[in-house]
Amino acid sequence: LINTLSISLLLLSGIYFAIHHWFNVQKIIIEGDIKHVTPTQLTYVANNKLHGTFFTLNIEELKEQFEELPWVKSVVLERQFPHTIIVHLNEYKAVARVGDEDLLASDGKVFDGADDDMSLPILYVDASDAVDYWAKYNQIESIAAKHNAHITSLRVSDSRIIVAETSTNVKITFCEQNL
């Protein structure tokens, strides 16, 4: 009985040692059409948030850490035996700025992303109303495009008066009720 117990304990110790020391994650492959997430952000998550070995790594926790990056829409993680983690990133596609700090994605989600190089129309509205005013922006833009102009910003006052400014510096003011 003592011999069986000793052999079992030795085998379990060997398995534990192998799992926790031989199967360290040595490579992380990041895939996807990445334009806005920086290598510094990805390196930070990979170096500081990856805890465990190939077998003990909490994939859901690591996925959540990648999803906290501002431009990341979705993440799919895969393990590739014996020491590789593959990260498939999907970024938001920004269509407009919401105020001075947020962006509106093509799927209607408002997110906190930064990119000063992007030439996007600006919606000065509450983030909760951004999708509705994006639809109104598109209506107004289709009319402005017929006159060789583009809407660069859309402001909404508390009394629901909409002011659209065009690329030709023309301001169009109208009541939201009579769009």
> For residues 91 and 93, what is the distance between their CA atoms, to the nearest angstrom?
6
Q: How far apart are CA 126 and CA 114, in angstroms?
A: 18
Q: Nearest 5 degrees, angle CA 16-CA 22-CA 66?
A: 100
The total number of residues written for the chain in this structure? 179
- Three-state DSSP at 94 gives strand
Q: What is the CB neighbour count within 10 angstroms for residue 160?
A: 9
Decide if pLDDT at 50 tops 80.
Answer: no
What percent of the chain has pLDDT above 90? 19
- What confidence tier does 124 reach under pLDDT thresholds 50, 70, 90? very high
CA distance 86 to 69: 17
**In the structure encoding, which two tokens stand for residue 77, read together?**
């993680």
Query: 111 or 158: which carries more pLDDT confidence?
Result: 111
CA 39/CA 45 separation, integer angstroms: 10
Q: What angle do CA 69, 29, 19 make, to 5 degrees?
A: 100
Q: What is the pLDDT of residues 55-76, one digit of tens each?
A: 667 788 888 888 888 899 999 9
Q: Which amino acid is at 99?
A: G
| Owner of token pair 């006052």 | 157
Summarize the confidence of residues 68-90 as an average pLDDT: 87
- Torsion angle in degrees (nearest 10) through CA of 13, 16, 21, 22: 100
CA distance 54 to 85: 8
Tokens 């199967």 belong to which residue? 23
Phi/psi at 86 (5° precision): -105, 130
- When the pLDDT of each residue in the chain is averaged and rounded to a whole number, the result is 84
